[in-house]
Amino acid sequence: MTDWNLFLVVDAEPVEVSRERSPDTRVVLIGSRRMLALPDNGYQLLLAWVAGPRRVVRTPAPMHADQDIIDVFVNSYLTDVGVPPRPRGFAWYLDLPVGVAPSDVWGAVAVDVEHGATVDLHQVREAMERGVAALYNTA
Protein backbone atom coordinates (compact mmCIF):
# COMPACT_ATOMS: atom_id res chain seq x y z
CA MET A 1 0.00 0.00 0.00
CA THR A 2 1.23 3.45 -0.91
CA ASP A 3 0.87 6.64 1.08
CA TRP A 4 0.38 10.06 -0.53
CA ASN A 5 3.35 11.32 1.52
CA LEU A 6 5.66 9.11 -0.58
CA PHE A 7 4.95 11.22 -3.67
CA LEU A 8 7.87 13.59 -4.22
CA VAL A 9 7.22 17.29 -3.73
CA VAL A 10 9.13 19.25 -6.37
CA ASP A 11 9.65 22.93 -5.73
CA ALA A 12 9.88 23.91 -9.39
CA GLU A 13 7.65 25.81 -11.74
CA PRO A 14 6.30 23.52 -14.48
CA VAL A 15 7.03 24.81 -17.99
CA GLU A 16 4.12 24.44 -20.39
CA VAL A 17 5.09 22.57 -23.58
CA SER A 18 1.69 21.54 -24.93
CA ARG A 19 -0.16 23.66 -27.42
CA GLU A 20 -3.57 22.56 -26.23
CA ARG A 21 -5.08 24.14 -23.15
CA SER A 22 -7.46 21.29 -22.33
CA PRO A 23 -7.04 20.21 -18.70
CA ASP A 24 -6.73 16.56 -19.82
CA THR A 25 -3.92 17.18 -22.29
CA ARG A 26 -1.58 19.70 -20.61
CA VAL A 27 2.01 18.58 -20.97
CA VAL A 28 4.70 20.29 -18.92
CA LEU A 29 8.39 19.95 -18.25
CA ILE A 30 9.52 19.73 -14.65
CA GLY A 31 13.28 19.77 -14.86
CA SER A 32 13.92 17.38 -17.76
CA ARG A 33 10.83 15.27 -17.07
CA ARG A 34 7.97 15.44 -19.62
CA MET A 35 4.79 15.18 -17.60
CA LEU A 36 1.02 15.16 -17.95
CA ALA A 37 -0.72 17.60 -15.61
CA LEU A 38 -3.47 15.88 -13.62
CA PRO A 39 -6.29 18.24 -12.67
CA ASP A 40 -7.63 18.08 -9.13
CA ASN A 41 -10.46 15.59 -9.62
CA GLY A 42 -11.08 12.09 -8.33
CA TYR A 43 -10.63 10.24 -11.61
CA GLN A 44 -7.31 11.84 -12.46
CA LEU A 45 -5.95 11.56 -8.93
CA LEU A 46 -6.91 7.89 -8.93
CA LEU A 47 -4.55 7.63 -11.91
CA ALA A 48 -1.84 9.34 -9.83
CA TRP A 49 -2.39 6.82 -7.03
CA VAL A 50 -2.33 3.82 -9.37
CA ALA A 51 0.78 5.06 -11.19
CA GLY A 52 2.49 5.55 -7.83
CA PRO A 53 5.27 7.73 -6.46
CA ARG A 54 7.87 6.48 -8.98
CA ARG A 55 5.86 8.00 -11.85
CA VAL A 56 4.09 10.95 -10.23
CA VAL A 57 5.35 14.14 -8.60
CA ARG A 58 3.55 17.06 -7.03
CA THR A 59 4.27 20.76 -6.77
CA PRO A 60 2.88 23.26 -4.28
CA ALA A 61 -0.24 24.92 -5.69
CA PRO A 62 -2.47 27.74 -4.50
CA MET A 63 -5.84 26.81 -3.06
CA HIS A 64 -8.92 27.36 -5.20
CA ALA A 65 -11.65 29.61 -3.77
CA ASP A 66 -13.92 26.54 -3.62
CA GLN A 67 -11.22 24.19 -2.30
CA ASP A 68 -13.40 22.79 0.51
CA ILE A 69 -16.05 21.72 -2.00
CA ILE A 70 -13.42 20.31 -4.38
CA ASP A 71 -11.90 18.33 -1.50
CA VAL A 72 -15.25 16.76 -0.63
CA PHE A 73 -15.81 15.56 -4.21
CA VAL A 74 -12.23 14.44 -4.91
CA ASN A 75 -11.72 12.66 -1.60
CA SER A 76 -15.18 11.06 -1.71
CA TYR A 77 -14.36 9.56 -5.12
CA LEU A 78 -10.99 8.33 -3.90
CA THR A 79 -12.31 6.75 -0.70
CA ASP A 80 -15.15 5.09 -2.63
CA VAL A 81 -12.53 3.24 -4.68
CA GLY A 82 -10.34 2.36 -1.68
CA VAL A 83 -7.76 5.15 -1.87
CA PRO A 84 -7.06 7.48 1.07
CA PRO A 85 -7.89 11.19 0.69
CA ARG A 86 -5.15 13.10 -1.08
CA PRO A 87 -3.41 16.01 0.61
CA ARG A 88 -4.56 19.45 -0.50
CA GLY A 89 -2.44 22.27 -1.81
CA PHE A 90 -0.65 20.40 -4.59
CA ALA A 91 -0.72 20.06 -8.35
CA TRP A 92 -0.02 16.52 -9.59
CA TYR A 93 1.96 15.36 -12.64
CA LEU A 94 2.38 11.97 -14.32
CA ASP A 95 5.58 11.01 -16.17
CA LEU A 96 4.84 10.50 -19.86
CA PRO A 97 6.74 7.62 -21.43
CA VAL A 98 8.71 8.48 -24.57
CA GLY A 99 6.42 8.67 -27.58
CA VAL A 100 3.23 8.61 -25.49
CA ALA A 101 0.68 11.40 -25.95
CA PRO A 102 -1.91 12.40 -23.34
CA SER A 103 -4.65 10.82 -25.47
CA ASP A 104 -2.70 7.52 -25.34
CA VAL A 105 -2.76 7.67 -21.54
CA TRP A 106 -6.50 8.29 -21.36
CA GLY A 107 -7.17 5.61 -23.95
CA ALA A 108 -5.07 3.07 -22.06
CA VAL A 109 -6.82 3.61 -18.73
CA ALA A 110 -10.39 3.94 -20.06
CA VAL A 111 -13.16 1.58 -18.99
CA ASP A 112 -15.00 -0.02 -21.88
CA VAL A 113 -18.69 0.43 -21.04
CA GLU A 114 -21.75 1.40 -23.01
CA HIS A 115 -22.70 5.06 -22.99
CA GLY A 116 -25.09 5.74 -20.10
CA ALA A 117 -24.31 2.48 -18.29
CA THR A 118 -23.52 2.51 -14.59
CA VAL A 119 -19.78 2.26 -13.98
CA ASP A 120 -18.39 0.43 -10.96
CA LEU A 121 -15.48 2.44 -9.53
CA HIS A 122 -13.58 -0.76 -8.89
CA GLN A 123 -13.74 -1.48 -12.64
CA VAL A 124 -12.32 1.99 -13.20
CA ARG A 125 -9.43 1.24 -10.86
CA GLU A 126 -8.78 -2.14 -12.49
CA ALA A 127 -8.76 -0.52 -15.95
CA MET A 128 -6.29 2.07 -14.68
CA GLU A 129 -4.05 -0.61 -13.22
CA ARG A 130 -4.04 -2.52 -16.54
CA GLY A 131 -3.45 0.69 -18.50
CA VAL A 132 -0.57 1.85 -16.30
CA ALA A 133 1.05 -1.60 -16.55
CA ALA A 134 0.79 -1.45 -20.35
CA LEU A 135 2.03 2.14 -20.61
CA TYR A 136 5.08 1.47 -18.46
CA ASN A 137 5.65 -2.10 -19.72
CA THR A 138 5.22 -3.65 -16.30
CA ALA A 139 2.52 -6.19 -17.27
User: Domains of the chain: which residue ranges?
Assistant: 4-100
Burial degree of 83 (CB within 10 A; 0-12, 13-18, 19+): buried
Average pLDDT over residues 60-68: 94
Q: How far from 49 is each of 2, 12, 41, 115, CA to CA, in Å?
A: 8, 21, 12, 26
Indicate the pTM of the whole model: 0.91
Q: What is the pLDDT of residues 125-135, one digit of tens each?
A: 999 999 999 99
Average pLDDT over residues 12-16: 92
Average pLDDT over residues 29-47: 95
Average pLDDT, the chain: 91
Q: How far from 93 is each of 50, 108, 139, CA to CA, in Å?
A: 13, 17, 22
Amino acid identity at 40: D
